[in-house]
């Protein structure tokens, strides 16, 4: 017998795991029953919320169709791929104040993103757009905008997340661009503008 253990759980208030559980002590013989009830309690704690999420999701994608997909496929269809495809991002990028994709600063910018790990690229997308993934192919409705920012190559880039736009200083070398873009992406440093 466990002298201070009853068939209850204290979850901001005492909850009986069986009818009258607050008066039933956990004995050695009933220990596995107690553990099973405790596990069931925790596993069903948010059932109502999970049902609501499933109901909302089913209003977009019929539940019977979800059986056709693996969880990875469903994730990509609803959230986009966790892998940042730079070729796809380049195809969906516009330039303002630069001569185009052949501009020195733009070449350096893409070299920086090539040097980034996928996790860093994902953080860059979040810095630029407020979300960490690109849209799935065929669903792009907004390109990444790269806009020239002044004449000082020592500045941090500025993000306008509502517009998926980055104001990019005229970086003239890779190391400087890598350092300043990483600082902006990793810390924001007051340069991320929600606009």
130-154: buried (b, 16+ CB within 10 Å) or exposed (e) per residue? eebbbbeeeeeeeebbbbbbeeebe
Given 101, 162, 179, 189, the catalytic residue:
162
The question of whether 162 is a catalytic residue gets the answer: yes
Catalytic residue IDs: 162
């Amino acid at each position: 017998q466990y002298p201070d253990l009853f068939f209850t759980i204290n979850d901001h208030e005492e909850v009986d795991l069986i009818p009258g559980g607050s008066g039933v002590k956990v004995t050695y013989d009933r220990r596995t029953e107690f553990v099973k009830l405790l596990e069931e309690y925790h596993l069903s704690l948010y059932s109502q919320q999970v049902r609501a999420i499933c109901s909302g999701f089913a209003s977009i994608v019929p539940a019977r169709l979800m059986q056709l997909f693996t969880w990875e496929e469903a994730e990509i269809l609803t959230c986009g791929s966790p892998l940042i495809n730079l070729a796809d991002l380049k195809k969906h990028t516009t330039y303002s104040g630069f001569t185009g994709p052949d501009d020195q600063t733009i070449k350096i910018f893409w070299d920086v993103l090539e040097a980034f790990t996928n996790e860093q690229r994902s953080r860059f997308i979040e810095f630029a757009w407020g979300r960490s993934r690109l849209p799935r192919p065929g669903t792009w409705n907004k390109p990444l905008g790269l806009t020239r920012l002044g004449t000082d190559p020592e500045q941090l880039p500025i993000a306008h997340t509502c517009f998926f736009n980055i104001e990019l200083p005229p970086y003239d070398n890779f190391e400087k661009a890598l350092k300043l873009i990483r600082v902006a992406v990793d810390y924001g440093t007051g340069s991320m503008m929600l606009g």
